[in-house]
Amino acid sequence: MVENKRTPDFSLNTQGISVHIDPMTFLVLSGMPDPGQYADVLTELDETLDVRVWPDAGDLSDIKYALAWQQEPGVLATLPNLKIIFSLGAGVEHVLGDPKLPDVPLVRFVDPDLTMRMGEYACLHVLMHQRRMLEYAALQRQGKWQELWPQPCASETRAGVMGLGVLGRNAAEKLHLLGFDVAGWSRSMKRSDGVTCFAGEDGLKPFLARTDILICMLPHTPGTHGILNAKLLSGLARDGQLPGPVLINAGRGKLQVEADILSALEAGDLWGASLDVFEEEPLPASSPFWAHPRVIVTPHNASITYSRALCRYVLAQVARHERGEALENVVDVKRGY
Ligand code: NDP
Ligand code: OXD
């Protein structure tokens, strides 16, 4: 049981007028290590807050705001006065996996630093493959001074971003600034300077057919589950200047069918890959990706959430809500993102 910093539901009686002060009580529910870090930062930012960490929730009727990620299913539904659920990340499938999710707004994390980091990841990995750095690193280890051909420049390389949301759009625009020939694909049609846009099922085939380096920044939903499979990979461009198509996945592991990616690498449908997310995380030691010469593995850190940035964002959203303003980045629960 946590020690409450504020007494719940107290009233001030000034000149006979009873003023009700609603305490600002938060509950952090996370299956990830160290959920207490969010309580520490929130109270550092505002020492009047009452922040509790599941399972030390105290009186459940006190809780107004929840910060959740892989929460224990069913717990959120037991909070009778819950007003808002905040996802501890940009993605929300870990929160939506709860079969008893209460009907209150679910707000996801959108932050300029998070967006910037994802843009960096996209540019870094596109350049790594376009400039054939994995092969040059292998040649260096062998002490070999050797140039590789072909060596297309950015404008001769077609990058395709799947998902033109907050993160994908920023990545696409940065790749365009680097000189790549960029396209993007999303559910609904977008307009973006310098990015050729495709949308929906009909747009997928032509989008893939003009893509040498595919960068995936989709959310994981029932509609995107396993989308990076053999059929999709075989639709990537085969007339590019690189030795073959490349896949970069920074969205979610459950978007990819790993057996299909490995087969595509063997068959030449894929020439290289950068994978930040995996079907199972941490990536098991037995995974062939670890030692694959044409695969770069990163530990789901394409863009990380800093607890301080997240907590500032949560408090800003709560302040909007308290002022009666609309919340930002509210998830469409039916759509799944
Ligand atoms: P957004 O919700 O802003 O964007 C999602 C995009 O995906 C939208 O353009 C949407 O289309 C598109 N989309 C969704 N479903 C489909 C579909 N079935 N077919 C085609 N397009 C679809 O999300 P963000 O850009 O903020 O984040 C994207 C994902 O990145 C997160 O959900 C998370 O999984 C991942 N992520 C990974 C991190 C990492 O470190 N690896 C860090 C942070 C996030 P439309 O615009 O038409 O709605
Ligand atoms: C996120 C993530 O969704 O870190 O924010 O993956």
Paired residues of 25 in beta bridges: 50
Q: What are phi and psi of 235, to 5 degrees?
A: -90, -5
pLDDT (0 to 100) of residue 8: 36
Q: What is the mean pLDDT of residues 217-244?
A: 98
The whole-angstrom separation of Cα 80 and Cα 128 is 51
Note whether 10-109+305-322 and 112-297 share their fold: yes
Nearest alpha carbon to residue 4 among 71, 53, 76, 67: 53
pLDDT (0 to 100) of residue 23: 72
Residue 17 has pLDDT above 90, yes or no: no
Residue 4 has pLDDT above 70, yes or no: no
Q: CB of 179 closer than 6 A to ligand 1? A: no
The whole-angstrom separation of Cα 170 and Cα 166 is 7
Does the domain at residues 10-109+305-322 carry the CATH identifier 3.40.50.300?
Answer: no
The structure tokens listed for 170 are 């920023």
- CB burial class (10 A; 0-12, 13-18, 19+) of residue 205? exposed
The one-letter code for the residue type at 52 is R
Q: What is the mean pLDDT of residues 3-12?
A: 36
Q: What is the mean pLDDT of residues 21-48?
A: 93
pLDDT (0 to 100) of residue 6: 35
> Mind listing the pLDDT tens digit for each residue in 312-326?
999 999 999 999 999
Orientation of helix 133-141 relative to helix 112-130, angle to 10°:
60
Assigned CATH for 112-297: 3.40.50.720
Expressed in angstroms and rounded, the spacing between residue 68 Cα and the centre of ligand 1 is 19
CB 82 within 8 A of CB 64: yes
Expressed in angstroms and rounded, the spacing between residue 163 Cα and the centre of ligand 1 is 5
Please give the share of the chain, as a percent, with pLDDT higher than 70: 93
pLDDT (0 to 100) of residue 21: 56
Mean pLDDT score of the chain, rounded to an integer? 94
The structure tokens listed for 75 are 């717990």
Distance, first Cα to last Cα, the chain: 34
Expressed in angstroms and rounded, the spacing between residue 6 Cα and the centre of ligand 1 is 38
Q: pTM of the full predicted structure?
A: 0.94
> Mind listing the pLDDT tens digit for each residue in 70-118?
999 999 999 999 999 999 999 999 999 999 999 999 999 999 999 999 9
Q: Tell me which ligand sits closest to the C-alpha of residue 202.
A: 1
> Could you count the other beta carbons within 10 Å of the beta carbon of residue 149?
8
pLDDT (0 to 100) of residue 1: 30
Q: What is the mean pLDDT of residues 253-264?
A: 98
Q: CB of 222 closer than 6 A to ligand 1? A: no
> Mind listing the pLDDT tens digit for each residue in 154-198?
999 999 999 999 999 999 999 999 999 999 999 999 999 999 999
pLDDT (0 to 100) of residue 304: 95
DSSP, res 256? B
> Mind listing the pLDDT tens digit for each residue in 120-143?
999 999 999 999 999 999 999 999
Q: Give SS3 for 110.
A: coil
Residue 12 has pLDDT above 70, yes or no: no
Domain positions in the chain: 10-109+305-322, 112-297
pLDDT (0 to 100) of residue 189: 98
Name the helix (H) or strand (E) containing 118. helix 112-130
Check residues 219 and 20 and name the one with the higher pLDDT: 219
Please give the share of the chain, as a percent, with pLDDT higher than 90: 93
Expressed in angstroms and rounded, the spacing between residue 248 Cα and the centre of ligand 2 is 16
Q: CB of 317 closer than 6 A to ligand 1? A: no
Q: Tell me which ligand sits closest to the C-alpha of residue 161.
A: 1
Check residues 56 and 3 and name the one with the higher pLDDT: 56
- CB burial class (10 A; 0-12, 13-18, 19+) of residue 182? buried
Catalytic option among 132, 220, 252, 292 = 252
Best mutation site among 110, 162, 187 for ligand 1 pocket (most ligand atoms within 8 Å of CB)? 187
- CB burial class (10 A; 0-12, 13-18, 19+) of residue 170? buried
